[in-house]
Amino acid sequence: MLFPLALLLAAQPLAQGQRTNHPVTGPGASEAQVDSDGVELAGAFAGAVRVPSSDKAWGGVRTGRERELSERVADYNLVAVLDPEHHAIEGHERLSWRNRSDRPLHNLYLHLYLNAFEGPGSTFFTEARRYGGFRLASIEEIKKGEHGWIELRRIEQAGKSVTWKFVHPDDGPETDHTVVQLSLPQAIPAGGTAVLDIDFYDQLPRVAARTGWIGTFHLVAQWFPKIGVLELPGERGATRPRWNCHEFHLFSEFYADFGSYRAEITVPKGYVFGSTGVEKAPPLETAESVRHIVQQDDVHDFTFTAWDKYAAPLEGSWRDVRVKVLYGAEYAEAARIALKSTIDGLDYFSRTLGPYPYQQVTVVVPPYNALEAGGMEYETFFTTIGAVGQPLISLVRFVTIHEFGHGYFMGILATNEFEEPFLDEGLNQLWNAKQLEGETTQFAAPGLLGQLGLRTPKLSYWDLERRGTQHFQADPIAGSSWMRYSTSSYGLVYHRTALAFHDLEKRIGPKVIEEGFREYYRRWRFRHPSTADLEKALEDTAGQQAPLVRQWFEEQIYAGTPVDDRVDLVEATEVVPEPGAVLQADGTRVERDVKEVHKEIRKIRQAFKKAHPKAKPSEPGPFPWRSVVEVRRYAAHVPQKLVLKFEDGSSETLSWPAEERWHRYLLERPTPIVSVQLDPDRDVLLDLNKLDDGRTREASRLVVGRWTLELKAWVDLAFALLEAL
């Protein structure tokens, strides 16, 4: 999903009226629904998986020597005619679905995603009222003619009709129509394949949540009846066959089997067409229309766009992969940035994870007013954002790389985006940040100030990621997309994930993380990994550091333990002779009172001054100094470094072991301490507040480097600006 607006979501503090009413229950609180085939339905409490999948899950590791890239389970043959005037589609689908389970099945489940947009009774809009509008839209703003829905007209299995009924696996409102259960006239035997013929009709919504139309522009996504995923024991924590076919939730994306997609899409003449996959034959033209014949194997979704105002596509390539950017003439600059960024993404992801396995990438720059169709990913096809000038033009590169990256974290690593959204959004965000390491962006100030040239400081990708992590979190990263305390608590799936793996990388080293993720990709490409499968791939690569990875997952992935280390005290006193009966080195005692001691100190000072007439106050004097530094941990234990600066300009770096709750450092040096900075290299980005990481002896908070109040203010300003758009 769109990166900058997701950032905004995360940036919102808990706004009034946006809290959820979820009961105080936890996973396991609801009884699993089981259908008449004895197959369980994943429900409202499904979430992050803690048990690694079996080696045989989804046919085992793909070696690359198989005839097909993926184990194909659901093949689709789609025939559709787009009526751009009514924003409607007459569709036919032939679905071939393989029963991988050990039992005959009488029931199948289909997603009817477009019904999320039919009105206030859907699970989607019920949640939108609870959490606030999705992105820019709110239900109150939807006018007549702008709702969207899908109707099943006919379903047949080998010429016999199939009946269906709406079901609610996540206990959503009865008025939700996004999941149907089919009753088949003929059971599908174990290992057998069902072939269903489905006629359907789509009324597309005005662009909302990634799909729809505006004017004559159409982005047609989540538009056909789509079968749920039947998971087998050993796959993503299932202990018996389990259907995974969740209702369409506000924040949720998707989950589907791999398969072959073939589509024949008819659009009016004069419309430029783009889609998942590649055209297999020249388009068939009639007097009024053009039929495009498209195919893509080894993906799990199919999306297309048609618009009569696209400019001639911008084309480029990376090795054998063709890149095509579709855009309206006003967004030529954004299109150029999108092309370059996609090619950079192909290069980076292919180098760091594994070669891009498809022939083509199609990038859509949606027109003005269609921002809701922007920033969305499908395999071999994605949408970025259009922009003219600041501030959004600065984000086109970020958004493009993010959406391209989903081709890996979501596309090839086909995770369950309903139940474990951090595995696509968060890991992708991490990999985007790694790719963009060293690059910065700037935003112009709004209005006149911007015109006068006032701009933010250069912001790195990590500066942007820090946004929204400064609060105590209500939910861990790992968890479903709907069981969330608030909108911002969903947003942390993005940023906190990136920061958590950033900090882990600083502890165990970039090599372990890079090899670990390569191993995760190798094991799980063209399959459906879980949180536990990611953890296992990283642990197996980490060798001796595996226990640390395990602990990190416990604290930072499955839980949301805050990190909050502070410098509490910085003091220095001069070490001068003191009164008392002091034992000398030769064993004798010398007893002096305060008066005598003062006299002696004065004498030594005068002698020093005589010997060093030009000594500055910052230079070592006649007596050494004892400095005291106290640091304290308020939450999770992470190892830290401290840089101590002294009056004479010298500095020392000390380490503060992770095991300690506090440490008091006593140091005797020629000059007093001036300041202390915790985490000088910015290794610990999860820390709640970087402003209390630094302190001077005068007890003021020391603000160094990029962690300035000013920077925070600028980031706030940049996001307030975006929010207003």
Helix (H, G, I), strand (E, B), or coil: what is residue 77?
A: strand
Q: Which is nearer to Zn ion, 1 or 721 (CB)?
A: 1
Question: In the window 403-432, what residues touch Zn ion (CB under 5 A)?
Answer: 425
Quick one: 1 or 570, whose CB is closer to Zn ion? 1
Handedness of CA 343, 348, 351, 353 (dihedral sign): negative
Rg of the chain's alpha carbons, rounded to an integer?
30
Give whichever of 176 and 253 is closer to Zn ion, judged by the CB atom: 253
169 prior amide bond cis, ω within 30: no
Report 552-571 residues binding Zn ion (CB under 5 A): none
User: Which residues in 688-707 contact Zn ion (CB under 5 A)?
Assistant: none
The DSSP code for 211 is B
> Residue 360 is encoded by which pair of tokens?
């083509």
Q: Which two tokens stand for residue 523?
A: 């094991």
Backbone angles phi and psi of 26, in degrees to 5: -125, 180
Cβ distance to Zn ion smaller for residue 425 or 679: 425
Whole-number minimum distance, CB 685 to Zn ion, in Å? 20
**Using N-to-C axis directions, what is the helix angle for 510-524 and 531-542, rounded to 10°?**
130
CB 390, min distance to Zn ion, A: 23
CB of 380 to Zn ion, least distance (A): 16
> Cβ contacts of residue 294 below 8 Å, gap of 6+?
261, 262, 263, 264, 265, 275, 276, 277, 278, 279, 280, 304
Query: Site mask, Zn ion, residues 584-623, x = CB under 5 A?
Result: ----------------------------------------
Distance of closest approach, residue 55 Cβ to Zn ion, in angstroms:
30
Residue 322 Cβ vs Zn ion, minimum distance, rounded to whole Å: 23
The residue at minimum Cβ distance from Zn ion is 1
Residues with Cβ within 8 Å of 454's Cβ and at least 6 positions away in sequence, in order, are 444, 445
Identity of the residue, 250 or 636, whose beta carbon is nearer to Zn ion in the bound complex: 250
CB of 301 to Zn ion, least distance (A): 14
Q: Which is nearer to Zn ion, 146 or 424 (CB)?
A: 424
Q: How far is the CB of 406 from Zn ion (least distance, A)?
A: 6
End-to-end CA distance of the chain: 18
How many residues sit in the footprint of Zn ion (CB under 5 A)?
Answer: 2
By beta-carbon proximity to Zn ion, the closer residue of 40 and 424 is 424
Site string for Zn ion, 481-500 (x = CB under 5 A): --------------------
Task: Choose between 276 and 428: whose C-beta lies nearer to Zn ion.
Answer: 428
- Tokens 């499968």 belong to 533
Beta strands in 115-178 (DSSP E): 149-157, 160-161, 163-166
Q: Is 38 left (phi over 0), alpha (psi -120 to 50) or beta?
A: left
Q: How far apart are CB 712 and Zn ion at their closest, in Å?
A: 25
Task: Report whether 296 contacts 362 (CB < 8 A).
Answer: no
- Cα 179 to chain centroid distance, Å, stands at 26
Considering the complex, what minimum distance in angstroms separates the CB of residue 423 from Zn ion?
11
β-pair type (565-574, 625-633): antiparallel
DSSP classification of residue 444: B
Strand order in the sheet with 651-656: 651-656, 640-646, 673-678, 694-696
Smallest separation, CB 509 to Zn ion (Å): 27
Give the Cβ contact number of residue 270 at 10 Å.
13
Minimum distance from residue 407 beta carbon to Zn ion (Å): 11
Residues in 206-245 that interact with Zn ion by CB under 5 A: none
Enumerate residues 341-400 that contact Zn ion by CB under 5 A: none
Q: Does 1 bind Zn ion (CB under 5 A)?
A: yes
* Interacting span for Zn ion (CB under 5 A) from 1-9, 76-84, 172-180, 671-679: 1-9
3-state SS, residue 616: coil
Q: Looking at beta carbons only, is 147 or 210 nearer to Zn ion?
A: 210
Pairing assessment for the beta strands 105-111 and 179-188 based on DSSP bridges: antiparallel
Q: How far is the CB of 558 from Zn ion (least distance, A)?
A: 22
* Residue with Cβ nearer Zn ion (241 or 375): 375
Shortest Cβ 39–Zn ion spacing (Å): 31
Q: Which residue's CB is nearer to Zn ion, number 419 or number 425?
A: 425
Q: Minimal distance in Å, beta carbon 1 to Zn ion?
A: 4
For residues 526 and 43, the answer to whether their CB atoms sit within 8 Å is no
Closest CA to 567 of 713, 711, 710, 687: 687
SS3 451: helix
Residue 235 vs 417, nearer CB to Zn ion = 417
Q: Is 7 helix (H, G, I), strand (E, B) or coil?
A: helix
Count how many residues are written for the chain: 725
Looking up tokens 């234990």 gives 637
| Identity of the residue, 1 or 371, whose beta carbon is nearer to Zn ion in the bound complex | 1
Helix 393-405 / helix 332-352 crossing angle, nearest 10 deg: 40
Continuous H helices in 94-188: 123-131
Is 387 or 684 the residue whose CB approaches Zn ion more closely? Answer: 387
State which of positions 263-282 bind Zn ion (CB under 5 A).
none
Contacts to Zn ion by CB under 5 A: 1, 425
